Structure 1
Amino acid sequence: MTSSTSRQLKLGAVLVGVGGPGQHDVWLDPEIPGDASVDIDWYIARARQAEAAKFDLVFIVDSQFITPDSPNHYLNRLEPFTLLSALAVSTTHIGLVGTVTTSYNEPFNVARKFASLDLISRGRAGWNVVATGDGGTAGNYSREEHYDYDTRYGRALEHVRVAQGLWDSYEDDAFPRDRAAGVFFDKERQHRLNHTGEFFSVVGPLNIERSKQGQPVIFQAGDSNEGRNLGAEIGEGIFTFAFNLEAGQAFYSDIKARAAAKGRNPDEVLVLPGLLPIITDTDAEAREIEISTHWAKDFDRVLAEFGRPFGWHDFSQYDLDAPFPELGSLGDTSFRTQADNIKLTARTNGLTLRETVEHFNPVRHSPFAGTALTVANEIERWFVGRAIDGFNVHVTVPSQFARFTDEVLPILRERGIFREEYESDTLRGNLGLPVPANRNSAVRDAAARLVSA
């Protein structure tokens, strides 16, 4: 299979240390230190491994509520801003993307931290915007109840718009730093935001200048109608998941259409599903690995994680072989779309609890498992078929990741799908995204044109 497309595949590396959801035994591999999720040397090595392969970005997932049944990586991991700042001074080209919630942060603090990361990295910062699905987070922030869906997504949109406004506090020529003239700062190039909205009131200005990429890149992940609308409104990269090509194509078409309906250029909204490839010498060997690593040997752990969309509801209290329990509104303030889908599927098909868990956690034959050629062919098929703009590759065992970078990527490079070298030293530049114009400079320029007309 070959491709003549001028589009270029985008790749992110998701660094999950000792294993995220469903990866219960990852930490047992001797290549992975038992403290990988809090070992900065581990993260630096993986980020450099991804950068050597010319990946666009590394992605740090995060949440702020755990239970004893949370995935291993979630139980003990580094905070994104601190971690990404360390990676910034240990790398030169790869983008640095971190998850930060809009539900339990203030826009000024978030804007300042991301602006700092953007300057430290010289234009490589990105923000994965989440509205927080784990309802238990409320208890860590002096709240008795989690925000409802409408409030969470309303806050998220306003939060991002405020942050973007703050990032334009200084026009790009605000600091002439002219020693001969004794002029460090041009006061006319500093601007207050003076925002008063439904959820936030922020005066500004932010006390930090813009980086060479203008503003951090905005990423978003959410499959609900509200999540898709938010992504179409603010997202420049969309993190998602697709079980097969058809599902990927449906999501891709939908999010691009929503972005166009909002007056945005769909080509500037990049769809990047998660990917956990298995590279082996034969396709048959990959299938054997999929079956041997399936969750069935740890059903109790899967049952515990199954409760997360419902606010970490304890499903062990029910008879596994009785009909799926009636849960009422449980899940409405957590991961509602996922919870509603589970309840509807169980009710429609008359499933027991055990059958429901098995339905949503089957032995999946991934299309991205097999020889390097098999995986490369499938990646190209999804890319050319407009199911993706790229992938977020979950990095677990370093040698397995090396098989992807050293065996799969050369095939894609030969077909003209993936870069030989970085095009830029900023995240926007490598993703092919434009530098946002400073809104205050745009107003100034428009006024100047009127005067000269």
Structure 2
Amino acid sequence: MSQRKLRLGAFIMATGHHVAAWRHPGSQVDSGVNIDHYIEVAKTAERGLFDQVFVADTPGVGFHGDEEAFSRQGRVSYFEPVTLWAALSAVTRHIGFVATASTTYEDPFLLARKFASLDHLSKGRAAWNVVTTSADNVHGNFGLDRHPDPASRYEQAHEFIDVAKGLWDSFEDDAFQRDPVSGKYFDPAKLHALSHSGKYFKVAGPLNLERPPQGYPVIVQAGSSEPGRELAAASAEAIFTAWTSLAEAQAFYRDVKGRLAKYGRRPEQLLVLPGISPVIGRTQEEAEAKWAKLQSLIHPSVGLNTLHTFWPDEDLSTWDLDAPPPYIPEPPPGRNSRAHVVLELARRDRLTVRQLYEYLAGARGHWVVVGTPQTIADRMQEWFENGAADGFNVMPPVLPESLEEFVDLVIPELQRRGLFRTAYEGRTLRENLGLERPVNQFSVKGRKVA
């Protein structure tokens, strides 16, 4: 039996995950709209044999706080993910592309069509990060009077995914003969209209594009709330999550894997990929100096603004930066799981206001590891071998610099330990992730269901 290997994704946040990354000399300051930057990053990740690259997305400009802080944040202009990945698929051969798209603010037919197109264009390297959109400031972009509540958003998401899968199955795998001699292009008996009529969607189908090379693009889910875990157990093949301690990560891993059986699924059919933001130095002192340099670039107004979501009704400018927060609230109903992680961190480590925003500035509550390549590999190995992760979503603090350092310094250390591949195993993202290709719901072993 071959040894279990780490699965690695590169989570690409334009200039990098640190809130002040755009000010760092190792970043590309206009990266959000610079295709050459993304080409460089994708090729670096592929050189490092990453499984996939991932971009988050929200359908609007999201910001809470004053104009001073707003003017200093570098994440207001960036490409739409599927369009970006379609361009990058032409200049790469192996790496997969995870694009975020919302089940609350997208149309299922159009989404199914564009992700099927991306899977064909990339020859089987597309993945969909399913989100319900937690931000409550985008509904006006879609003619709505208010943002739907979490319960209805997740209920809608389950139906949306079922519709998308049904549309991807419109054509059976062997529907197209394309035989010039007989003149027969395809078999109409192997084309299926979905005819879906549900609580949220009414979609006739069929999709006007043959089945994607992977059957379905790989389905990813990001989030660790109760409804998020249930959605992942029902439908996702990878889940992105955020934890800051081994014990918390192990508990989450056991919980989400334990939910799969009721949906007729096996534990290996869902990959758990926590976020890790590595700050890498050839010595510990060098790594800590890099981290200190990044932290020094945070303007206090920007730092305080990272806390606004947890204290939305407070005037944070009056707080003493070097004292603990005056109080630590319980997250209100409907707040996403990240709030629970961050506020528990503040309680557990008794952080000052400055320490809390400095921690959030690095990776918004994800696990930040500052150290040598060996130290970072040690921590990853510990989580991987002790039931906390199947791999990691690597979140470079500064791009392109931090990803290049990870590929050049950490990847060889993981390979030396036998934890990571030395060559791509397959042609599609599913094959490289070790995931099965789904069977078309309208056929069984190539035979049409009556």
Determine the C-alpha separation between the residues in 1 that align with 2:338 and 2:11.
Answer: 22
User: In the alignment, which residue of structure 1 is the partner of 2:438?
Assistant: 436
User: 1:366-385 residue pairs with structure 2 within 5 A?
Assistant: 368-385=369-386
Identity of aligned residues (%): 40
TM-score (norm 2): 0.88
Give yes or no for the alignment of 1:418 onto 2:401.
Answer: no
Give yes or no for the alignment of 1:227 onto 2:228.
Answer: yes
Check whether the contact 2:253–2:388 (CA below 8 A) recurs between aligned residues.
yes
Tell me the SS of whatever aligns to 1:74: coil
Give yes or no for the alignment of 1:6 onto 2:3.
Answer: yes
> Could you tell me how far 1:78 is from its partner in structure 2?
0.5
Deviates further, 261-270 or 142-151: 261-270
Determine the C-alpha separation between the residues in 2 that align with 1:59 and 1:87.
Answer: 12
User: 1:236-255 residue pairs with structure 2 within 5 A?
Assistant: 236-255=237-256
More relative contact order, 1 or 2 (CA 8 Å, 6+ apart): 2
Instruction: State the Cα deviation string for residues 101-150 of structure 1 (Å, max 9, x = none).
Output: 11111111110110000000010000000010100111111111100011
User: In the alignment, which residue of structure 1 is the partner of 2:22?
Assistant: 27
> Could you tell me how far 1:309 is from its partner in structure 2?
5.9
Determine the C-alpha separation between the residues in 2 that align with 1:336 and 1:399.
Answer: 31
Check whether the contact 1:242–1:273 (CA below 8 A) recurs between aligned residues.
yes
Check whether the contact 2:24–2:294 (CA below 8 A) recurs between aligned residues.
no
Deviates further, 286-295 or 421-430: 286-295
- Paired residue type of 1:18: T
> Could you tell me how far 1:63 is from its partner in structure 2?
0.9
Check whether the contact 2:384–2:390 (CA below 8 A) recurs between aligned residues.
yes
Check whether the contact 1:279–1:369 (CA below 8 A) recurs between aligned residues.
yes
Tell me the SS of whatever aligns to 2:97: strand
Q: In the superposition, relative to structure 1, how do residues 13 and 339 fare at CA in structure 2: closer, same or farther (>3 Å)?
A: closer
Determine the C-alpha separation between the residues in 2 that align with 1:355 and 1:279.
Answer: 25
More helix by share: 1
Q: In the superposition, relative to structure 1, how do residues 299 and 83 fare at CA in structure 2: closer, same or farther (>3 Å)?
A: same
- Paired residue type of 2:387: R
Q: In the superposition, relative to structure 1, how do residues 143 and 409 fare at CA in structure 2: closer, same or farther (>3 Å)?
A: same
- Paired residue type of 2:241: T
Determine the C-alpha separation between the residues in 2 that align with 1:326 and 1:253.
Answer: 28
- Paired residue type of 1:243: T
Deviates further, 222-231 or 367-376: 367-376
User: In the alignment, which residue of structure 2 is the partner of 1:256?
Assistant: 257
Q: In the superposition, relative to structure 1, how do residues 89 and 265 fare at CA in structure 2: closer, same or farther (>3 Å)?
A: same
Q: In the superposition, relative to structure 1, how do residues 172 and 309 fare at CA in structure 2: closer, same or farther (>3 Å)?
A: farther
Q: In the superposition, relative to structure 1, how do residues 185 and 212 fare at CA in structure 2: closer, same or farther (>3 Å)?
A: same
Determine the C-alpha separation between the residues in 2 that align with 1:248 and 1:400.
Answer: 24
Tell me the SS of whatever aligns to 2:272: strand
Instruction: State the Cα deviation string for residues 37-80 of structure 1 (Å, max 9, x = none).
Output: 11011001100011011110010111123236568453010011
Instruction: State the Cα deviation string for residues 413-444 of structure 1 (Å, max 9, x = none).
Output: 12221111101110000000000001111297
User: In the alignment, which residue of structure 1 is the partner of 2:47?
Assistant: 52
Q: In the superposition, relative to structure 1, how do residues 156 and 38 fare at CA in structure 2: closer, same or farther (>3 Å)?
A: same
User: 1:7-406 residue pairs with structure 2 within 5 A?
Assistant: 7-20=4-17, 23-65=18-60, 66-67=62-63, 69=69, 72-294=73-295, 297-308=298-309, 313=312, 315-316=314-315, 319-320=318-319, 323-324=326-327, 332-333=333-334, 335-339=335-339, 358-359=355-356, 362=359, 368-395=369-396, 396-406=398-408
Structure 1: give runs of 5+ residues left out of the alignment: 449-453
Tell me the SS of whatever aligns to 1:294: helix
Check whether the contact 1:272–1:392 (CA below 8 A) recurs between aligned residues.
yes
Give yes or no for the alignment of 1:427 onto 2:424.
Answer: no
Instruction: State the Cα deviation string for residues 227-280 of structure 1 (Å, max 9, x = none).
Output: 111111111010011102222111111111112333211111001111111221
TM-score (norm 1): 0.87
Deviates further, 238-247 or 366-375: 366-375
Determine the C-alpha separation between the residues in 2 that align with 1:193 and 1:103.
Answer: 21
Determine the C-alpha separation between the residues in 1 that align with 2:434 and 2:389.
Answer: 15
Instruction: State the Cα deviation string for residues 351-397 of structure 1 (Å, max 9, x = none).
Output: 9xx95675575599967322211212221111111211111112323
Determine the C-alpha separation between the residues in 2 that align with 1:81 and 1:97.
Answer: 9
Tell me the SS of whatever aligns to 1:239: strand
